[in-house]
């Protein structure tokens, strides 16, 4: 089977994600290593509309693109990271304020925690932008903090699912033999994940 046949169909969502990822990649090539959502939207509007566009058209497009960027930010950043071939983490509004004032990389873990956001989407701790980390910035305390927090989130999710599954396995609807088999399979899968991950 050819690679063309294996490709997923292009959808509106995938086109939007691809467009944003290309804009972020272009910003990175223009030496913007940590574009804010506002800068990403602004670059996309500038690419899409000419200078003669009306203010109301610019405002409408800006609002719509900002909404789409918020909705798909994690997927857009994943694709951008693949295109640029660098690890990344999400940053808070405070990062941009800190960078504008001081311009220095924070080294204190307490300070780093103010600038890193674990989730790209969602209402709590919403990211204000993304920061790509190249080899010249290693070891990078912000990337380390982000990765540590992501590991904590994954481990907590695994424990939550295990607890919920064990409740179901303890019900009378599942035989003791099947419950033991599934418990063993679950424990083995988690152990494999933890040792190989």
- Looking at residue 190, its pLDDT comes to 58
Residue 147: which pLDDT band, with cuts at 50, 70 and 90?
confident
Q: What is the dihedral of CA 51, 53, 57, 63, to 10 degrees?
A: -10
- Looking at residue 169, its pLDDT comes to 83
Average pLDDT over residues 21-32: 95
**Of 77, 72, 114, the residue nearest 92 (C-alpha):** 114
- Looking at residue 145, its pLDDT comes to 87
- Looking at residue 33, its pLDDT comes to 92
- Looking at residue 129, its pLDDT comes to 94
Residue 130: its H or E element: strand 129-132
193, pLDDT greater than 80: no
Least-confidence region, from 16-25, 41-50, 98-107: 98-107
- The two structure tokens encoding residue 19: 């467009």
36, pLDDT greater than 60: yes
- Looking at residue 189, its pLDDT comes to 61
Average pLDDT over residues 12-30: 94
**First and final C-alpha spacing in the chain:** 31
- Looking at residue 148, its pLDDT comes to 85
Q: How much is the mean pLDDT over the chain?
A: 83
- Proportion of the chain in helix, strand, coil states, percent, rounded to 5: 70, 5, 25
């Amino acid at each position: 089977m050819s690679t063309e046949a294996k490709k997923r169909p292009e959808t509106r969502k995938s086109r939007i994600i691809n467009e944003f990822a290309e804009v972020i990649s272009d910003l990175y090539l223009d030496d913007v290593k940590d574009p804010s959502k506002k800068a990403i939207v602004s670059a996309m509007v500038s690419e899409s509309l000419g200078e003669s566009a009306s203010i109301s058209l610019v405002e409408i497009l800006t609002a719509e693109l900002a909404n789409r960027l918020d909705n798909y930010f994690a997927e857009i950043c994943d694709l951008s990271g693949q295109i640029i071939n660098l690890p990344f983490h999400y940053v808070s509004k405070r990062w941009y304020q800190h960078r504008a004032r001081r311009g220095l990389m924070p080294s204190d873990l307490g300070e780093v925690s103010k600038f890193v956001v674990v989730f790209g989407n969602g209402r709590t701790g919403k990211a204000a932008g993304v920061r790509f980390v190249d080899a010249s910035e290693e070891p990078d305390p912000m990337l380390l903090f982000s990765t540590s927090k992501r590991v904590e989130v994954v481990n907590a999710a695994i424990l939550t699912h295990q607890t919920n599954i064990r409740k179901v396995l303890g019900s009378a609807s599942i035989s003791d033999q099947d419950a033991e088999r599934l418990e063993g399979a679950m424990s083995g899968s988690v152990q494999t994940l933890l040792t190989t991950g």
